[in-house]
Structure 1
Amino acid sequence: MAIFKVEAEIRSDVGKGASRRLRHAGLVPVVLYGGDKEPRNLTLQHHKVLHLVEDEAFFSSIIEFSADGGKKQKVVLKDVQRHPAKQLIMHMDFMRVNDKNEIVMNVPLHFEGGENSPAGKSSRVMIDYQMNEVEITCFPKDLPEFISVDVSEFDAGDNLHLSDLKLPKGVTLVAFTHGDNDAYDAVVVSTSVVGQVETEEDEVEEVSVEVEATKQSKDDSAE
């Protein structure tokens, strides 16, 4: 698992106006919460944040977090707010974690073997990936960066549901804890593509029929 280290700075100025000023100064407003401690208002350097969020693993990893050179603590990223049009991180939320309590996280699904599967090689079959992440619960030490999904044997008509996923040790899908039908939600489905390909011979034949019909119509009019 990749190890991410984040060093933040404490901020005392809060509110919309303060956040706007921080962004103009190249900083990202941050809130750290959770555990038995009070929430803290912090900032991160925007250029460093942009580098971190480029790595998918940053969103599903335990992060080594410190503020103003203080004691390091374990956290996870819980929320990122982005600008709708610019490459700009507006706000971030981090949550403290400890080894004794389970956490709930969204982790990405990595699909493997799709292109080499019978369905992937066929022009008459479409593989539809209906989920790209799942919500799990586990202890911090068991948090996976992603969950692999093997679809190398997929063929037309095959389906894979949440209940079919092979989970790492210590990891449980939140859907399994609901006691409803969420566990049967489809993750991947494959369907046959029905279509008719028109050949050049078909086109020539249609034109010939159309010309013959037009000629016949003119002959009838002449009579």
Structure 2
Amino acid sequence: MSQDFVLTAFPRDDQGRGASRRLRREERKIPAIIYGGHKDATPISIWHNDLKKALENEAFYSRVLTIELNGEKESVILKDLQRHPYKPLLSHADFQRVNKDEEIFVHVPLHLVNEETAPAIKTFGGVAFRLMTQVEVACLPENLPEFIEIDLFDVEMDGIVHMSELKLPEGVRIPALQHGAEHDQAIVTINKPKGVKSDTVEDEEEGEDK
């Protein structure tokens, strides 16, 4: 069952580095902003630990979220997140308003399935090498997938899965593919581990020795 994410936000009147620093140190909140949706940008603050805990769930990054501010609810998506360069702390967050009738652009996680049972891996000793862990999709908010699965069962040794081969839910598209074949990036490949020859290479060498 999909989880609903709700964050409580507070108005942020004082802005600037000094105000943001006090917000983080004294109130344990982080500065953030809500923009888009044909409205003015709204500076807000959010409890640091609430946001940090929500971020532990992968779905938070690819889900329409709810922000409660002054008794009203805003539907948003997370567009940018800044972290402290070396401490496990968040620094700033950007949220974009969502309109149910307007397309949104979101990076969605890619999940591998049948990795343990794929013949190229289980039988022939191949390893799945991930070249991308997420892909940007465009869709209406109601069609936004939590993740996209890549079935490795039929991928052969030295096979490559490209973006154009992804099975997308109805109403979902990959914007990059509209820019031509050169943007059809490889997502995952199955190969022998480094230093181990594939069966194809071994067969060719055996043929040369005969």
In the other structure, the counterpart of 2:206 is none
- Unmatched 5+ residue regions in structure 2? 198-210
- 2:6 corresponds in structure 1 to 5
Which residue of the partner structure matches residue 218 of structure 1? none
| Distance in 1 separating the partners of 2:140 and 2:41 | 22
1:24 aligns with 2:25: yes
1:159–1:39 Cα change, 3 Å: same
Kept in 2: contact 1:34–1:95 (CA 8 A): yes
Over the aligned positions, Cα root-mean-square deviation in angstroms equals 1.6
- 2:51 is paired with a residue of what secondary structure? helix
Match of 1:200 in 2: none
8 A Cα contact 2:23 2:30, kept in partner: yes
Give the Cα–Cα distance (whole angstroms) in 2 for the partners of residues 68 and 120 of structure 1. Answer: 54
Q: Look up the equivalent residue of 1:114 and give its one-letter code.
A: E
Say which SS state the counterpart of residue 23 (structure 1) adopts. helix
> For residues 8 and 33 of structure 1, what CA distance do their matches in structure 2 show?
14
Contact 1:7 1:68 in 2 (8 A): no
Matched residues, number: 194
Q: Which amino acid aligns with 1:163?
A: S
Shift of 1:155: 2.9
Q: CA deviation at 1:126?
A: 2.7
Match of 2:203 in 1: none
Q: How far apart are residue 122 of structure 1 and its match?
A: 4.8
Look up the equivalent residue of 1:64 and give its one-letter code.
T
Tell me the distance in 2 between the aligned counterparts of 1:195 and 1:49.
Answer: 45
What amino acid maps onto 1:51 in structure 2? K
Q: Which secondary structure does the structure 2 equivalent of 1:64 belong to?
A: strand
Q: Aligned with 2:107: secondary structure?
A: strand
Q: Distance in 2 between matches of 1:18 and 1:83?
A: 17
Rounded to whole Å, the distance in 2 between the matches of 1:99 and 1:127 is: 37
TM-score, normalization: structure 1? Answer: 0.82
Residue matched to 2:190: 190
Paired AA for residue 7 in structure 1: T
1:136-147 equivalence runs, <5 A: 136-147=137-148
CA contact (8 A) 1:75 1:94 kept: yes
Aligned to 1:47: 49
Taking only the aligned residue pairs, the percentage that are identical comes to: 39
Per the normalisation by structure 2, the TM-score is 0.87
Tell me the secondary structure at the aligned position of residue 153 of structure 1: coil
Check whether the contact 2:121–2:190 (CA below 8 A) recurs between aligned residues.
no
Cα contact 1:2–1:61 (8 A) shared by 2: no
Measure the CA separation in 2 of the matches of 1:188 and 1:61. 24
Task: Name whichever of 124-133 and 164-173 sits farther off.
Answer: 124-133
Pick closer, same or farther for the CA change 1:65–1:122 going to 2, 3 Å.
same
Paired position in structure 1 for 2:65 = 63
Provide the residue aligned with 2:76 in structure 1.
Answer: 75
**TM superposition shift of 1:20:** 0.9
Q: CA deviation at 1:18?
A: 1.0
